[in-house]
Amino acid sequence: MTSTNDLRCPGSDPLSRVVPELFQCLACNEEIEIWTDEVGGRCPSCKTYFKKIQLSNATTTPQNALNSYDAKLKQLIQNAQGSGATEAAIISTRVIVVDDDLADKCREPRCENYGLSRSCPPHISGPTVFKEHLEEFSQAVFFKIDVPSEILYSSERRELFQLLHEIAAGIEKSAIEMGFAHAQAYAGGSCKKVFCYDYPECLALAGEGECRNPGYARPSMSGFGINVAKLFETAGWNTGTNTHDAVSTANKTASVCGLVLIY
């Protein structure tokens, strides 16, 4: 005898268990519908993307959640400035411009660091994958360190870029501890030049182990085509000539910068 189970389409069971769930947007309080088989969703009103776990962990009321979210972002700004950043700002990931042409400049004319570390082209995913990756985030911490331009051409350059990577990694770590589990930091400059200048090879690339500096070394923004000059404009900061690793302004100040993607 044929049971009712035998008559059911085999594909219908999983589908029948997929239902929509409603969450409150942490940015604008609008209702967000996310299906049970999705990891997150975008607010229909403010277009901010949230992971479901982030919305589920939100405290009792939407206003409390909003306050808590804002407080965390403010804390990240304070952390950046307390660690040595001249300025830091929260920006929407929707304003991050990714240019294939900028990434191509790592290869032609060839950057002296091209291919030397796991964090630089051609060993990173590049602009196309980065653009897709960006879709998973809604906010970012953008920060800069201002220095006299001559520092970029002095023996202090390495220390400057070390500080830059350390601040970026520090913000990423703080963000993860706050619950932004997928926070991802990027910095200017090649980590080979900054951290592994005394070694003939990048250990991670040589296949002889993991990165020597996992706590600090972060991928270079250039290889992903991140348009740093546009980020300066968005943050309302003084812009100037965009060099490979820095922005130099007319008043003989140079800025190096980093970016940390958060939810």
In the complex, least distance from residue 32 CB atom to ligand SF4, rounded to whole angstroms: 38
The residue among 146 and 166 lying less far from ligand SF4, judged by its C-beta, is: 166
Q: Which stretch binds ligand SF4 (CB under 6 A): 22-30, 61-69, 191-199, 251-259?
A: 191-199
Which of 51, 144, 157, 192 lies at the binding interface for ligand SF4 (CB under 6 A)?
A: 192
Find the shortest distance in angstroms from Cβ 39 to ligand SF4: 29
C-beta of 104: minimal distance to ligand SF4 in Å?
22
Cis peptide before 109 (omega within 30 of 0): yes
Exposure pattern of 209-236 as b/e (b: 16+ CB <10 Å)?
eebebeebbbbbbbbbbbbbebbbebbe
Measuring CA to CA, how many Å separate 117 from each of 112, 114, 190, 211, 216? 11, 8, 7, 9, 14
Residue 114 binds ligand SF4 (CB under 6 A): no
158 binds ligand SF4 (CB under 6 A): no
Regarding 48 and contact with ligand SF4 (CB under 6 A), the answer is no
Q: Which stretch binds ligand SF4 (CB under 6 A): 5-13, 63-71, 142-150, 189-197?
A: 189-197
Q: Which stretch binds ligand SF4 (CB under 6 A): 37-45, 87-95, 134-142, 192-200?
A: 192-200
Q: Which of 25, 141, 167, 217 binds ligand SF4 (CB under 6 A)?
A: 217
Site for ligand SF4 contains 130 (CB under 6 A): no
Determine the Cα–Cα distance for residues 257 and 222; give it in Å rounded to an integer: 11
d(CA 102, CA 223): 8
Is 218 a binding residue for ligand SF4 by CB under 6 A? The answer is no
Among residues 137, 143, 195, 232, which is the contact residue for ligand SF4, using CB under 6 A? 195
User: Rounded CA gap, 229 and 244, in Å?
Assistant: 11
- The tokens describing 110, both together, are 């060839």
- For residue 221, the minimal CB distance to ligand SF4 (Å) is 15
- 124 sits near ligand SF4 (criterion: CB under 6 A): no
- Map residues 71-110 to x or -, x wherever contact with ligand SF4 holds by CB under 6 A: ----------------------------------------
Determine which residue in the list 83, 113, 119, 222 makes contact with ligand SF4, applying CB under 6 A. 119
The least distance separating ligand SF4 from the CB of residue 165, rounded to whole angstroms, comes to: 9
Q: Which of 52, 72, 118, 131 binds ligand SF4 (CB under 6 A)?
A: 118
